[in-house]
């Protein structure tokens, strides 16, 4: 409010963003976060009177909920794609839980619906994630369907072509939604190497992708050392007894070396037919999620700045309490 009043006092004069920043002694982030730096301690200073809770034990008692979640996570994503398999991760996400060598897509859908279950798949740059949620009593069925879908897809030509058409439509929607492309732009500008590979299938790749490329990609990357089966609401011994016969024959091949990526930083701009401007600012976190302490620190910082899960009811900005959210979104 004080900034708006100051601007109004200058009549119709307009200031560039740099001029506005200079009016605040706190710099750009001080202006965004709503105050001078002397009003609050900086985020690298421990708050007085705050006791850090003890770490969680190695074993956490399973929840008493009647529901269970089973997930199969594979150390494989777009960073493992080659020029010949570009876009494979995106297509595999859309081909998840389709026809397998043991059941048709229709049968699979009916089996999931009959127990009130929910299946999903997500492709990222570093992982492929397949999950199944349902009542705990159906865990054996859940594990079998999940593993069958991941290990035995048939990639019928008509199903592949159908999903390629869906990807084309998805890309067309992204063209009208620049905000959805921000994460892609950040990686393409920030990295060279594997992490610069696009997660969204490039248009030229759509014309080359087929079932044979998907089968080869799975054969190379869906191997035992790169898989994790995890579950919530299921006893560990029970999960092992169900999954072992379904996974024990996976080849124990040597884990390949992770493709190299180099953070170089940079700038990416794209003109779009849109009234709004979408801006993202990103920084490298050395070690990423492999460094547990760093990952926790970044997660706390995300929450402090208003990221993560949030809600907005009763009007724009209601229910958002970070200074960043109140200063900008309101």
Q: From first to last of the 330 residues of the chain, give the pLDDT tens digit.
A: 444 444 444 443 333 333 333 343 455 555 555 555 456 667 677 778 878 778 878 777 766 789 999 999 999 999 999 999 999 999 999 999 999 999 999 999 999 999 999 999 999 999 999 999 999 999 999 999 999 999 999 999 999 999 999 999 988 887 777 777 888 889 999 999 999 999 999 989 999 999 999 999 999 999 999 999 999 999 999 999 999 999 999 988 888 889 999 999 999 888 777 777 888 888 888 887 788 888 888 888 877 776 655 555 555 545 556 677 667 666
Does 107 share its domain with 225? yes
Does 240 share its domain with 162? yes
User: Which of these, 140, 162, 154, lies nearest to 98 by C-alpha position?
Assistant: 154
Residue 45 domain-assigned (yes or no): no
Does 243 share its domain with 294? no
Map residue 242 onto helix, strand or coil: helix
Does 87 share its domain with 190? yes
Residue 85 domain-assigned (yes or no): yes
Does 317 share its domain with 170? no
Residue 279 domain-assigned (yes or no): no
The strand pair at 118-123 and 227-232 is best described as: unpaired
Q: Are the C-beta atoms of residues 231 and 68 closer than 8 Å to each other?
A: yes
Does 220 share its domain with 315? no
Alpha helices per DSSP H over 95-235: 105-114, 139-151, 157-175, 182-190, 203-206, 211-221
Q: Are the C-beta atoms of residues 67 and 118 closer than 8 Å to each other?
A: no
Q: What is the pLDDT of residue 10?
A: 42
Q: How far is CA 164 from the centre of its chain?
A: 21
How many domains does the chain contain in total? 2
Does 232 share its domain with 313? no
Residue 205 domain-assigned (yes or no): yes
Burial grade of 209 (CB within 10 A; 0-12, 13-18, 19 or more): buried
Does 78 share its domain with 154? yes
Q: What is the pLDDT of residue 308?
A: 55
Tokens of 173: 């929607």
Q: What is the CATH number of the domain that holds 89?
A: 3.30.830.10
Residue 134 domain-assigned (yes or no): yes
Residue 18 domain-assigned (yes or no): no
Q: Which of 248, 274, 304 is the last residue of a domain?
A: 248
Q: Are the C-beta atoms of residues 191 and 261 closer than 8 Å to each other?
A: yes
Does 298 share its domain with 194? no
- Whole-number Cα distances in Å, 79 to 27, 174, 179, 291: 37, 21, 22, 19
DSSP structure string for 300-320: HHHHHTT-SS----SSTTTT-
Phi first, then psi, for residue 263 (nearest 5°) are -80, 120
Residue 255 domain-assigned (yes or no): no
Does 317 share its domain with 202? no
| Eight-class DSSP state of 59 | S
Burial grade of 72 (CB within 10 A; 0-12, 13-18, 19 or more): buried
Give helix then strand counts, H and E, for the chain: 13, 6
Q: Which of 248, 277, 302 is the last residue of a domain?
A: 248
Which domain range does residue 142 map to? 67-248
Does 133 share its domain with 220? yes
Phi first, then psi, for residue 57 (nearest 5°) are -70, 165
Does 80 share its domain with 185? yes
Tokens of 236: 């560990």
Q: What is the pLDDT of residue 21?
A: 36
Residue 259 domain-assigned (yes or no): no
Q: Which of 197, 214, 248 is the last residue of a domain?
A: 248
């Amino acid at each position: 409010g004080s900034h708006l009043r100051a601007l109004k006092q200058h009549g119709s004069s307009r200031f560039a963003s740099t001029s506005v920043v200079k009016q605040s002694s706190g710099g750009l982030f001080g202006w965004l976060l709503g105050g001078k730096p002397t009003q609050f301690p900086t985020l690298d200073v421990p708050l007085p009177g705050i006791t850090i809770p003890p770490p969680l034990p190695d074993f956490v008692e399973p929840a008493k909920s009647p529901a269970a979640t089973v997930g199969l996570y594979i150390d494989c994503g777009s960073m493992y794609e080659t020029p010949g398999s570009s876009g494979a991760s995106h297509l595999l996400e859309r081909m998840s839980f389709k026809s397998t060598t043991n059941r048709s897509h229709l049968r699979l859908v009916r089996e999931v619906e009959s127990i009130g279950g929910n299946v999903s798949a997500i492709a990222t740059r570093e992982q492929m994630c397949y999950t199944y949620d349902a009542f705990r009593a159906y865990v054996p069925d859940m594990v079998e369907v999940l593993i069958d879908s991941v290990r035995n897809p048939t990639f019928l030509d008509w199903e592949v072509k159908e999903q390629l058409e869906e990807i084309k439509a998805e890309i067309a929607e992204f063209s009208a939604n620049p905000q959805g492309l921000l994460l892609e732009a950040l990686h393409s500008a920030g990295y060279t190497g594997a992490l610069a590979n696009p997660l969204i299938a490039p248009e030229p790749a759509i014309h080359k992708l087929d079932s044979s490329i998907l089968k080869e990609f799975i054969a190379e990357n869906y191997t035992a050392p790169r898989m994790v089966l995890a579950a919530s609401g299921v006893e560990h011994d029970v999960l092992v007894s169900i999954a072992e016969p379904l996974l024990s024959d996976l080849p124990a091949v040597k884990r390949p070396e992770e493709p190299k990526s180099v953070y170089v930083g940079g700038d990416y701009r794209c003109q779009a037919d849109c009234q709004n401007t979408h801006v993202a600012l990103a920084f490298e976190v050395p070690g990423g999620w492999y460094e547990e302490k760093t990952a926790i620190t970044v997660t706390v910082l995300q929450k402090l700045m208003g990221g993560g899960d949030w809600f907005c009811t009763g009007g724009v900005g209601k229910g958002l309490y970070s200074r960043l959210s109140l200063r900008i979104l309101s």
